Amino acid sequence: MSSSARLSLWQAAWVIARRDFTAIVFSKVFLLFLIGPLFFLGISAGGGYVGAMAADSADEPQLAVAFTPDANAAIEKARDELEPLVGMPEVTLVDRADGADPRALLEDEDRNLLGVLSGSLADPLLTGPKEDVERWEGEVALMVGAARGEAIPQANIAIDMTDGAINRQTAQDATARAGIVMLFMLTIFLAGMVLSNLVEEKGNKIIEILAAAIPMDAVFVGKLFAMLGVSLVGLTVWGAAAGVILILGAGALPVIPPPAVGWPLFFALFVIYFAMAYLLIGSVFLAVGSLAPTVRDVQTVSMPATILQLVIFFLANFAVGQPGSALEIFAAIFPLSSPYMMVARAAKEGILWWHLAAIAWQVLWVAIFVKIGASLFRAKVLKSGTAGREKGAGRKGLLGLFGSASNQS
C-alpha cells in the first residue's frame, strides 16, 4: 500500500496505460477493430469529394506570356477570339522588360502557372511541366499563329519541359487537402474509444477505485496514452496494408511532386500531428465522459464534441486555400485545428521551425485539457467524498486489480 502511495503522476499513468493497452490489444475484439476501417471507405470517398470540390474552386493555373507589351496585347486578343471556338488556357501577361527567367516564374509560389511563353512571336518558347505542355501545346500554337495574323494560325513552338510532371503548386495543394481528410477520418474513427472506455469503467465502479488510489490526472493521462498506443498499432497495420497496395499499383499512379518538406518528413509529421490531434480531441472526450452518467448517455453527451470535429474539418479545408490570411493563421493557432493546418503547411511550405513551435503549443493544450477533464470528473463524479473516505480500500482494490493482471501476464 505504501508503494502505491509513492507513485508519481507519470508512474501511475504508466501503470494505467499498460493495463488498458494490454487489455485491449490482446482481446479478440481488437481484430474486428482492425478490420473496421473498410466500412469507412465510403465516408473517406465523401471527404475526398469535398476536398476535390474545394480544390476546383481554387484559381485555375494560368499561362504566363512574357513578350513585349505589343506582342502581349496581340496574344491576349488572339486568345479572346479563339476561346469561343477552342478551349484556351487562362493567360497572365508579364512584361519581358522585367527580365524574369521562365523557370524562375514557374518556381514563384505567388503565381499558379501551368507554363511560360517567352521569346518572341517570331521565335516563341513554351516552358512548363511535361503534362501541362503536352496538354496545351496545340492551343498555344494556334494562339501564337493568330497573334501573327496568319490565315491558318499554326505556329512552330520550341518546347522546354521542366522536371515536374504536373503543376507543383496545384499538386501540393491537393496533397495538403488529402492530408487533412486522412487526419480527420483517422481521428474521428479512433477518438471515440477514449470516451467509451471511460464511461464503461464509470459504470462498473473501476474508475472510482482508481481515483481513490492515485491522482485523477494520472488516470486520465494513462487512459489517453493507452488509447493513443492502440490507435498507433492500428495505424501501423493500416499503413502497411496501404503501402503494399501502393507498391503493387505504383505503375498506374501519376508522378506527384513531393510536398514542400519531402515525403519522409511529411509522413513523420503526419504521424506526429495525428498523435497530437488524437490527444487533443481525446482529452476533450475525457472531459465529456465525466459528464455522461451512463453508457446510454454517451451518444447524447458526445454529440457536441463530434460536431466540433466536423466544424474543425471544414474550417481547415476552407483555410488551406487562403495561405497567409487571418483565417489560415487562426486555424493554425487554434489548438484543435492546429494539427490539421500544420499538416497542410508541411505539404505547401518548407519552414521547419513552424512545426516545432506548433507541436510545443499543442502539447501545452493537451495538458490544459487533461487538467480540466480531471477537475470536472472530481467535481461531478467524486463530489460526494465517498472515494476519499474509502481511500484505503481503494488502494487495496487497485493493488489487487493490477496484481491479478500482472499474474495473468
Report the number of distinct structural domains present in the chain. 2
Q: Are residues 162 and 174 in the same domain?
A: no
* Domain with 84 in it: 62-166
Residue 385: predicted pLDDT: 42
Residue 243: predicted pLDDT: 74
Virtual CA dihedral for 211, 216, 218, 219, nearest 10 degrees? 60
Grid cell locating 287: 472531459
CA quadruple 62, 65, 66, 69: dihedral positive or negative? negative
Last residue of a domain, one of 118, 141, 166: 166
The pairing of beta strand 113-119 with beta strand 62-65: parallel
Q: Are residues 31 and 79 in the same domain?
A: no
Last residue of a domain, one of 166, 197, 219: 166
Query: What is the secondary structure of 136-192 as a DSSP string?
Result: HHHHHHHHHHHHHT-SS-----EEEEES-SS-HHHHHHHHHHHHHHHHHHHHHHHTH
What is the residue whose three cell numbers read 498523435? Answer: 275
Which conformational region is residue 149 in: left (phi greater than 0), alpha (psi within -120 to 50 degrees), or beta? left
Residue 270: predicted pLDDT: 93
Residue 394: predicted pLDDT: 44
Q: Are residues 274 and 251 in the same domain?
A: yes
Q: Are residues 14 and 38 in the same domain?
A: yes
Q: Are residues 213 and 230 in the same domain?
A: yes
Query: How many residues belong to the chain?
Result: 409
Q: Are residues 93 and 183 in the same domain?
A: no
Q: Are residues 198 and 80 in the same domain?
A: no
Q: Give the residues across from 129 on adjacent strands.
A: 162
Q: Are residues 225 and 340 in the same domain?
A: yes
Rounded CA-CA distance 213/235 in Å is: 33
Q: How far is CA 159 from CA 71, 72, 114, 118, in A?
A: 19, 19, 13, 11
Residue 330: predicted pLDDT: 94
Rounded CA-CA distance 15/12 in Å is: 5
Q: Are residues 148 and 41 in the same domain?
A: no
Residue 402: predicted pLDDT: 46
Structural Rg of the chain based on CA atoms: 28
Q: Are residues 348 and 225 in the same domain?
A: yes
Q: Over its length of 409 residues, how does the chain's per-residue pLDDT go in tens digits?
A: 444 445 788 888 898 888 888 888 888 878 877 776 656 655 554 555 555 555 555 567 888 888 888 888 888 888 888 888 888 888 888 876 555 678 777 777 677 788 888 888 888 888 888 777 778 888 888 888 888 887 666 666 767 666 554 456 677 788 888 889 889 988 887 877 776 676 666 666 677 677 677 777 888 888 888 888 888 888 888 888 777 766 765 555 566 677 888 889 999 999 999 999 988 988 887 777 666 666 666 667 677 777 888 889 899 988 888 888 899 999 999 999 999 999 999 998 888 999 999 999 999 998 898 888 778 777 766 654 444 444 444 444 444 444 444 444 4
Rounded CA-CA distance 266/71 in Å is: 43
Residue 98: predicted pLDDT: 54
Q: Are residues 383 and 282 in the same domain?
A: yes
Residue 342: predicted pLDDT: 93
Rounded CA-CA distance 132/64 in Å is: 13
Last residue of a domain, one of 166, 185, 202: 166
Name which of 218, 217, 211, 219 is nearest 394 in CA terms.
211
Q: Are residues 189 and 108 in the same domain?
A: no
